[in-house]
Amino acid sequence: MASSSRLINTYDVFVSFRGEDTRNNFTGFLFQALCRKGIHAFKDDEDLKKGESIAPELLQAIQGSRLFLTVFSKNYASSIWCLRELAEICNCVETSPRRVIPIFYDVDPSDVRKQSGFYEKAFARHEERFREDKEKTEEVQRWRQALTQVANLSGWDIRNKAQFAEIEQIVQNLLIILGPNTLNLPNDDLVGMESRVEELENLLCLGLVNEVRAVGISGMGGIGKTTLARALYERISHQYDFHGFIDDVSKIYRDSSSLGIQKQLLSQSLKEKNLEICNALEGTCLVWTRLHNVKALVVLDNVEDVEQLKMFTGNRNTMLRECLGGGSRIIIISRDEHVLRTHGVDDVYQVQPLNKENAVELFCRSAFKVNYILSEYEKLAYEVLSHAEGHPLAIEVIGSSLFGRNVSQWRSALGRLKDNKRRNIMDVLRVSFNQLDEIDREIFLDIACFLSDYDEKYAIEVLNFRGFYPEYGIQVLIDKSLITIKYGSICMHRLLRDLGRCIVREKSPKEPIKWSRLWDYQDLYNVMLENQESENLEAIVVKSNSLMINEAIMRADALSKIKHLKLLKLENVKFSGSLNNLSNELGYLTWKQYPFQCLPPSFQPDKLVELVIGGNNIQRLWEGTKPLHNLKRLDLSHSKNLVEMPDVESAVNLEMLDLEGCIQLRIINPSIGLLRKLTFLNLKNCINLHCKRLKYLPDLPSRTDLPSELYYLPDLPFNLIRDEANAGIMIYNCRELVDRDRCTSMSISWMIQIAQANHQCRCFPFDKMSPNFESIIPGSEIPRWFNSEHVSTDNSIIIDASPVAHENYWMGVVCCVIFQIREITSPREILLYSDVIPVDVRKDLAMDDSDHMWLFYLTQQEFIHQCNYRGIPNIDCLKIKFKIGDMLYFRDLMVESEEMEDKVYPEKEQWQMDESVVLLEVKKYGYRWVSEQDLEQSNSIMMHGGNLVTRKRKFLAIDGNK
C-alpha cells in the first residue's frame, strides 16, 4: 500500500512486540532509552485512543515510520495483530528503502525462521482456526513467509544477556542507521541552507570531544537564524546523550523568570512533561546533577538579554556550559551580537541575506510554485527581489501574496508594497528597534532616513552634531544587526530603512510638516506648499531625480519657517521666490543649485560644520565677517559667478576649502594664510588666478589642486608626505610642460618618496587606500630605471610576479606605460577612473596626438589584493587591461565593492560615458619591483634633505586643464 508523503515522516521507529510478554520489562526499558536519545518511537498503548479499532491506526503508524524493530518473544506468533503488523512491515520494506531489525528476546532465531517450538504450536492453532477460509489460509502463509524473511536478517539475540547493556547497543546502532533527524524539517522550503549548516557546524568544532563549546547565531529579524539552528539541530542531535531546543527564551523568562527556563531544559532532558520544580535553587541542583556528566546539545532561541543566560541555571555566577559534560555544544540565537559576546561564546555566526540565485529560487517557489520565473512576470519578479534584498521572510511573504495573481494585479500589488510594507514583515523587524534606548532609536532613524551609505566617519560627525553620542550607538546597531559597516560606509538593509521611515511617518502619515525628518521630494514639495511653521522638522535631505519631467518649483520662503532645522541637503531641487531667513541651528548646509546671489543676511552660521553651496547665481556668501569657528569644510566649487571669496579668518577649524571652477574669482582672501588646520585646497580651473611657473611648492595643505597653465614641474616639499587617507600625488594633462626629462625624473622621484613614506609610517590599515601616485604626462620612452621593456600586442600589460612571489623584500611595483591617443569622437571632456588607478583623459590632452607616459604605483598590499580578488591563488601574474576593442577600459583594476556582488558581468564589457569614446594604442610598457634598497637609495640620492618619516602624509594633484 502506497503511503502518503505526510505519513513518511511521522515516526523514527515502529516497534512490533507482544505486550503480554515484554511490555513491563524489555520493551518498556527500550522505549525509555529511545525517548532519552530523542528517537520518536510509536507505542500503541499511548498513541492510540481506547475503544477505537486498532487496525487502521496501526497500519498508518507502520507506513509513517522510518525503521522497524520486531521483538520476537515466545508468544509473539500467537498474536494475530503481531503477525499482521509483521506482514505489513515486510510490505513496506519491499516497496521502500527502509529496514527491519529483529530482536530475539527469549526464543531461538531458528524457531522463528522455521516456525518450530512455540511458533509451530501457534501456527497449528491458526491453521486449524482458518482451514475453512481460503483467504485467511493464504494470509497465514504470508505470515510464515514474513517470519522467515525477518528472522534471516541480522539482528540481536539477547537471550541470557544483560538487557540494559543490550538496549544501549541497540539504541546506539539505531542512531547510526537513522542519522540526522529530519522529521520536522520542511525540506522543500529550505533554500541555500546546506552551505550555511556546514559553516555553522565547522564553528562548533564537533571533533573536540572533551570541550564544551558555545556558538552564537546573530542576524536581523526574519533572516533565518532559527531555521538554520533547527536544521543543524536535526542534523547532529542524534550524536548526543541529551538534546533540547528551547524556543523563545525571552518570552519564557518574561513569563516565568529563570525557573521557567529551567523547567523547559529539565523537562526535555528528563522526558517528563509535568515536571514540578519549587524554586530556582532546586532547579539549579537538578540541572547540575542531571547534566554535568552528559554530552548534551542545547539550543536557546531568541535570547534578548545576557541576564537571561546568567540566570539560566538559577545562579548568576554559574554558566550553563559549566553544568554540561565534555563534548557538549550550546547554540544561542540572538539578534544582538553584543549579548552573545558578553556571555562569552566561542564564536558568532552572522546570518547573511540570500544570494541572488537562492533568492530567485525561494521566490519562485512562493510566487509560482515552480523553480523558474514565468516569462511574462520576469521584470516584476526582479523588482520584488531588488526590494527584498535577499531577506527570506520578505521574499516568502511577498511571493505568497502574489501567487495566482495576473500581471496587472502584480503591478498594483508592487505599487502598494512600495507605499505600505507588509505588516507581518515590519512587525518582525520592529522587535529590534523597540529594544533600543531612545537615543539609539534616533541614530537608527537618522541612518534610515538619510545617512545610509555615507562614510562612517562622516556619519559619526553628523550624529555627534545632532547630540546622539554615536560611537556607542553605532556599535549597538551593529550588534543588533540593524546596520553593517562595509568598506568604511554605513549600510542598512532596504527593509530596515523602510521600517525607519515608516516609524517617522506613523504618527501623522498625511502631514509631513509634523515629521522630524524629510527625505522624499514630494513630501518636501507639500511642506513648502503649505508654507507653515514647523516645530518638529530637524533634517531635510532630498535628492531629486535629474531626469524628472515637469519638475515642480518650490517656494523658498517656506524654509524660513522651519525654526529648528539642523541639517539641510538639497540636490536637483528647484526653488523660486525669496529666502529671508535660515535656521541658525544649521550645522550642515548643502545646496549645489543655490538660486540666490547670497545667503540671507540674518543667517548666523556659527554652528555650521559644513557648507557646500554653489550655482550660477551666487556671487558672495555674505557681507563682512561671520562667526565660523565650527566650520570644517567650505565648498564653493563651480560657482561660476562668485567674485568674492569670504573672509575665513574666524574659521580656525577649517580643514577643506574647494574653489574649483570659480572662473570669476581673481583674488584669494589673505585670511587663508591664517588657517592652520587646512589640509585640502582646490583652486583647479580658477583661470583668473594666473600661475604658470612654480619654482618650488610652498607649505601647502595636504591635498592641493593647482591652477592651469603650469609648464614647469617643481620640487616636492617633504612636508606633503604624511598620513592622510588620500595622501599621494597625481599629475594629469600638463601639456605645457616644457622640461619633459625633468618631469619624468621628478615623477619617479616623487613616487619613490611616497613609497618610502608608506613603508616607514605603516599607518594605513588594510581596508584603507595607501598613498596614490599617478601621472599621465608627455613621454615616449621607458626610463632606464625600469628593469625591462615589453611590447604590448593587445593593448594590455602583464606584470609577472614570479620573481617575487616567494620573497618578502619587495614593497610594491612601479609601472610605466607608453600610449598614444589616436582619436576622440566627442569634443566633450572624458573622465574614466577606478578606485585604484584613476586615469584622467581630457580634451586638451586627447588633442595632443603625441605619445604619453602613464606612471602608477601599486603597493604590495594592493597587488596581492588584486590577485586575490580575481581568484588567483598565487601571485604569478596580473594582467591589466587598458581597453576592450577600441574603448578606454580600466574595469580590471577596480576595487571590489558591494555594488558588484552577485552581478554577472560579460567577459568583454564596454563602458561609455557621455557617448564619448577615446581611441588609443598601447605601445610598450615596463615595470620595476620596488625594494627596501630602492628606498634607501632614494633617501640618499634623490632626496635633497628633510625628514620623510613624518606623522602626516598629504595629497598633491596637479592638473593642466583650463
Which backbone phi and psi does 433 adopt, to 5 degrees? Answer: -65, -40
User: Going by C-beta distance under 8 Å and a sequence separation of 6 or more, which residues neighbour residue 426?
Assistant: 498, 499, 502
Q: Which three cell numbers stand for residue 186?
A: 520542511
CA–chain centroid gap for 554, Å, is: 39
- 665 dihedral zone (left: phi>0; alpha: psi -120 to 50; beta): beta
Sign of CA dihedral 232, 233, 237, 243: positive
What is the rounded distance in angstroms from the CA atom of residue 356 to the CA atom of residue 393? Answer: 15
Question: CA-CA distance, 395 to 409, in Å (whole number)?
Answer: 17
User: Strand (E) positions, 456-519?
Assistant: 484-486, 489-491, 517-518
Tell me which DSSP letter residue 527 carries. Answer: H
Whole-angstrom distance, CA of residue 264 vs CA of residue 182 = 22
The tally of CA atoms less than 13 A away on the side-chain side of residue 506 is 11
Residue with cell 534584498: 389
164: cell is: 540494559
Cα 102 from Cα 607, distance rounded (Å): 86
Please name the residue that has the C-alpha cell 555544544. Answer: 329
Cell of 801: 610576479
Whether residue 589 contacts residue 566, with contact meaning beta carbons closer than 8 Å, is answered with no
d(CA 762, CA 517): 42
CA distance 611 to 588: 6
CA distance 856 to 852: 13
**333, 303 Cβ separation under 8 angstroms:** yes
Query: Residue 25: helix, strand or coil by DSSP?
Result: coil
Torsion sign across C-alpha atoms 741, 743, 744, 745: positive
Are 34 and 181 within 8 A, CB to CB?
no
Q: Which amino acid is at 826?
A: S
Are the beta carbons of 488 and 430 closer than 8 angstroms? Answer: no
Side-chain-facing half-sphere of 481: CA atoms under 13 Å: 29
Beta strands 656-658 and 887-888, pairing class: unpaired
Where would I find the H helices in 437-488? 438-446, 456-465, 470-479
Question: Kindly report the CA angle at 922 between 920 and 924, in degrees rounded to 5?
Answer: 160
Catalytic residue check, 85: yes
Q: Are 480 and 435 in contact (CB under 8 A)?
A: yes
**Catalytic hit among 57, 85, 357, 571:** 85
* 895, three cell numbers: 576595487
Name the nearest CA neighbour of 776 among 822, 824, 815, 834: 815
**Host H or E run for residue 505:** helix 494-505
Catalytic residue positions, numbered: 85
